[in-house]
Structure 1
């Protein structure tokens, strides 16, 4: 019998996802503002400083025995790739309309399914093939011939999505021995010196006006993940994941209000097509896993890897 504490609570899940959406949108705006004066490397470094400072007290509380790892090489490899994805995402936010970045980012689960088939030997089911096809169809709608988005920056964002897919595959492997907190902690710990080394040659001292945006970028990198985790604790992935699509119209409105970015129906349509493929895969996976009483694989987590 399910205890009252473990019963689904969709309303609480919705409220936590609203917090996640607010965090993702705030990160995009903060990154856009900071790239007007600072380099992408420096922004990544300062975001990591904030995140690590928030994680350190809990890591200290857990103690060295709990935080030490025997898989440091895997953590290093994962986070070198993740740093590349983070660089591509922030660069995309600085150059492209915000809605376009989020739409292209929805392709991360597509690349995850492809990489998992090759690297983890996961079977490409009919549903996953359809999901991949819809993902590519969505990208083609966004980057249609003659579109203003057919430019190098768009392919940098797609490259970032591929990097996030790689990190998700790495996370799948690490999760067998490492806690979620440990994975996030080592991610920030490893990316700190990477960002520092790359930032020093192009360092610009942040102005007082930039400090709130730096704080927002770092804090929301933590709150976005925490909010998603809490939402998943109150409802199934099939309930929570559709809410993730609201990021796209929300950021389109923010882009229009703050930066006068025009509405692009092809971007919204392409994002919707790609996301529908992701959602189809989630629903099918959940149905299959319910039959075998196994945990559900939420492939949309790959798109969220950017914020860790």
Structure 2
């Protein structure tokens, strides 16, 4: 799974950044469709059972890769971190999937844009990363966007919205652990462990509410699992080809894609406050992503200067603007 067949043909001659953009567009298509599929299937299958099948399909997807590479490729010194990350991922799904049973898909997608905001807060609180005034301001603005969406409504919908916010918090924790794990483990290994462990963790939840799906429901569950898995694979590959700030600028595609598919399949229309709140949240998240990318480039440049002082005269970054330290 290092390279798909069409990467060896159609995409091989394209610049790396263009390939990253195309992968991110595919990921947004998959994730936008995923929210609608969850909402569609949750009308007939218990959400906890959907979580189990979603993860089971991911295990099946990676089975051929394991058969070719052998189980020795799964060796890791961070099994505890894999377990923790997978447990947090299941909790994110436990919050997100039931919420989609009652919440419009576009609104759930809009609220999920808060994940980078919570990831930044978590990095500051638990990883002791230095977050300065500009990024804290972006976080506050993003949370204002959440309040625009979370306006007073029916109690049941309010609880569902809260569950999506809680899901975004869990996803932020998962992202922070993933950032740490990619320094030591191959992304395919991380994905394979995630699928296997989350299948195990979600099985007891599924058995508690088990209703054997019929053939039609089985087709929808298979489509849901494949959509989620392909979206994750495309998302990981996008980050391997392009800068994070450029990739995150495309993340907003999830909203129109999800809204269009929700309208076609479910007849749902996003209201104006969902759109307004989504724009506010996404703008603040994108700002944070771009500031983090700039800081990462400065770190790489500083490391290069330490190794070879001559890059000071030749490197593209010779001066740092004062305001760059206020992020």
TM-score (norm 2): 0.82
With 276-285 and 173-182 compared, the bigger mean Cα shift is at 173-182
User: Are residue 282 (structure 1) and residue 283 (structure 2) matched?
Assistant: no
CA contact 1:142–1:149 (8 Å) conserved in 2: no
Cross-structure match for 2:48 = 41
Partner of 2:200: 193
- In the TM superposition, residue 151 of structure 1 has moved relative to its aligned partner by 1.0
Q: Which residue of 2 aligns with 1:206?
A: 213
Higher radius of gyration, 1 or 2: 2
Which residue, 247, 259, 265 being the options, matches 1:240? 247
4+ residue stretches of structure 1 with deviation over 4 A? 4-9, 146-150
**Structure 1 CA distance, aligned partners of 2:104 and 2:43?**
14
Change (3 A) 1:195 1:150: closer
Gaps of 5+ in 1: 295-308
Matched with 1:175 is 182
> How far apart, in 2, do the equivalents of 1:196 and 1:22 lie?
28
Q: Give 1:111's aligned residue.
A: 118
Distance 2:121 2:81 in 1: 20
Structure 1 residue 9 displacement after superposition: 4.3
- Which residue in 1 is equivalent to 2:106? 99
- 8 Å Cα contact 1:78-1:167 kept in structure 2: yes
Task: Using the TM superposition, give the Cα deviation of residue 61 of structure 1 relative to its aligned residue in structure 2, in angstroms.
Answer: 2.5
* SS at structure 2 position matched to 1:70: coil
Deviates more, 1:20-29 or 1:116-125: 20-29
Give unmatched runs, 5+ long, in structure 2.
1-11, 302-327
Q: Kindly tell me: are residues 148 and 246 of structure 1, through their superposed partners in 2, closer, same or farther at Cα, counting changes over 3 Å?
A: farther
Task: Summarize deviations over 1:10-56 as a string: whole Å, max 9, x none.
Answer: 3x444333321221122122212221111111111111111101112
The 3 A distance-change label for structure 1 pair 72 and 15 is closer
Given that 1:143 and 1:150 are in contact with CA atoms closer than 8 Å, whether structure 2 keeps it comes out as no
Partner of residue 38, structure 2 = 31
Deviations 1:35-87 (A, max 9, x none): 11111111111111111011122123222332122322222122111101012
Q: How many correspondences in the alignment?
A: 290
Distance in structure 2 (CA, Å) of the matches to 1:71 and 1:222: 23
What TM-score results when the alignment is normalised by the length of structure 1?
0.86
Aligned to 2:141: 134
RMSD: 2.2
